[in-house]
Amino acid sequence: MTDFSLAFLGMFESLRMGPTFARGRRDERAGHVRSLTVSGSLVVALVRGPDDPVAFRARIAVRAFGASDWARVESALVREARFTADLLNGRMPAGIEAIFDGEGLSLLPLSFDEVALDCSCERWPMPCVHLAATCYALARAFESDPFEVFTWRGRSRDELLMRLRRLREASAVDGSGHPSDAAQQSPPRSSPPPNAGAPPNAGSPPDAGSPPGEKTKDRPAAEDPASFWGFDAPDGPDAAPAPEATRPDALLDQLDDPGLTHEGRPVIEVLRPAYQALPDRT
């Protein structure tokens, strides 16, 4: 058995309840522990011995470490490269308990007072044979997957390894907060020129002294939609009226507005009257 399994069983066997634990060991070996689930702070098993009319639910609880506790442990693990390497490769490093001890924590409960037990059989004294069998089943789980110890204390394998990878990547950044040399060799991304992708004259200020609606030398005023599109209104009393705007503006509402403005107005609202006034010409 691993050190975890032996230490865990040693704590319970120190209660000197030899007959109860001998029976629990036999029941576990005979397969009477029908299921075992390990989650944060709680182990739940269904146990049905040869003399039991139904399966009983046995539970063993410990205090799960909080987020700040695990943050300290994970930082300490990353500082010890061999621990991080073994864990990321799916191996439980020997002596990892020292990391928890250094942070004032105990990976396994040190005494019977640190655990809470109950069983639906409600037999006395406690622990009953169902809890004894659960203890041996849990020790076997620690033997087959030592990461279950972390799960019991509140950190699943996947979450622990994800956090260790992130911390190890962050440790590649030097103390001044700058990226490593390899990262610094990456060429910087060039910034786009001002007004890249904007229509011509979108950011140009209006000509000084030009009254509203008057065409300027460089561009028509936005307030004159027909001129904006290059269709001047006919002059004279006999001139035919300008054709009605038939160009729908629904497409403007489908644009993903990038937040551009023109003279303090959203670009979409600047374009809308000109778009509506565009004649339907073929």
Tokens encoding 79: 């500082």
| Nearest-angstrom CA–CA distance, 27 and 46 | 12
Q: What is the tens place of the pLDDT at every residue in 189-214?
A: 444 444 444 444 444 444 444 444 44
CA distance between the termini of the chain: 87
CA–CA gap between residue 107 and residue 39 (Å, rounded): 15
The contacts of residue 66 (CB under 8 Å, 6+ apart) are 154
Model pLDDT, residue 39 = 93
- 8 Å CB contact between 266 and 257: yes
Distance in angstroms (rounded) separating the CA atoms of residues 271 and 250: 12
Give the pLDDT confidence of 134-163 residue by residue, as tens digits: 999 999 998 889 899 999 999 999 999 999
| Contact present, 213 and 206 (Cβ < 8 Å) | no
CA-CA distance, 77 to 274, in Å (whole number)?
A: 65
What lies within 8 Å, CB to CB, of 94 at 6+ separation is 3
Mean pLDDT of 91-113: 88
- Cβ atoms < 10 Å from Cβ of 27: 24
> What pLDDT was estimated at residue 269?
75
Q: Is the pLDDT of residue 80 over 80?
A: yes
Task: Give the rounded distance of the alpha carbon of 263 from its chain centre.
Answer: 42
Q: Is the pTM of the predicted complex or chain greater than 0.75?
A: no
Dist. CA 50–CA 44, nearest whole Å: 20
**Average pLDDT along the chain:** 74
The 8-class DSSP code of residue 113 comes to: G
Helix (H), strand (E) counts: the chain: 12, 6
Distance CA 200, CA 184 (A): 37
- CA-closest candidate to residue 141, choices 2, 41, 10: 2
Average pLDDT, integer, range 88-100:
89
Written as six digits, the tokens of 138 are 């849990």
